[in-house]
Amino acid sequence: MTFKSHMARALAEARAAADRGEVPVGAVVVSPAGEVVAAAGNRTRELNDPTAHAEVLAIRAACEAAGSERLVGHDLYVTLEPCPMCASVISQARIARLYYGAADPKSGGVAQGPRVFSHPQSHHVPEIYDGIAADEAEALLKAFFGERR
């Protein structure tokens, strides 16, 4: 199977989140067959739910579609480095490959902060590919936070 990046779809979700007044982060879950099974953007404000990050919402929807609490062989694309909560969910869902865009020095939990996947308590570690379309993801975040200042 040839590799196809789904980051463009994740960026579209991030843009839609910004339009809703949410922090522009988008995520997509792709099945082992290469199909997009879930896509989501942040909805923490809309749902009054601090756990409603794009990754969590996309993983929830994908699990429901799969009828399973685990997403073995699935890939996750997210525009921003996952926070520690999302990194833990990614591990618990057994996501096979994680593709992310911009690094998040402030709240990231993969390459910085608690480095969840490097922790001995991490039961499952996905393959990780970072910096995918990072410039575009970063520009969205900068524009969003710039406008709110």
Binding residues for Zn(2+), by number, are: 53, 83, 86
**Residue 116 Cβ, how far from Zn ion at the closest point, in Å?**
11
- Measured in residues, the chain has a length of 149
**Residue 73 Cβ, how far from Zn ion at the closest point, in Å?**
22
Contact 31, 58 (CB under 8 A): no
Q: How many amino acids of this chain bind Zn ion (CB under 5 A)?
A: 4
Tokens 């970063």 found at: 138
Residue 86 lies near Zn ion (rule: CB under 5 A)? yes
To the nearest 10°, the Cα dihedral for 67, 72, 74, 79? Answer: 100
Question: Could you tell me which stretch among 31-39, 75-83, 111-119, 133-141 binds Zn ion (CB under 5 A)?
Answer: 75-83
Give me the amino acid identity at 93. Answer: A
Q: Which is nearer to Zn ion, 32 or 47 (CB)?
A: 47
68: which 2 tokens?
A: 């399973």
| Continuous segment of H or E residues that includes residue 145 | helix 134-148
96: which 2 tokens?
A: 């096979």
Q: Which is nearer to Zn ion, 56 or 133 (CB)?
A: 56
Q: Which of 71, 83, 110, 140 binds Zn ion (CB under 5 A)?
A: 83
Give CA 105 to chain center in angstroms.
16
Q: Which of 53, 63, 78, 110 binds Zn ion (CB under 5 A)?
A: 53
Q: Which residues contribute to the site for Zn ion (CB under 5 A)? A: 53, 83, 85-86
Active site residues: 55
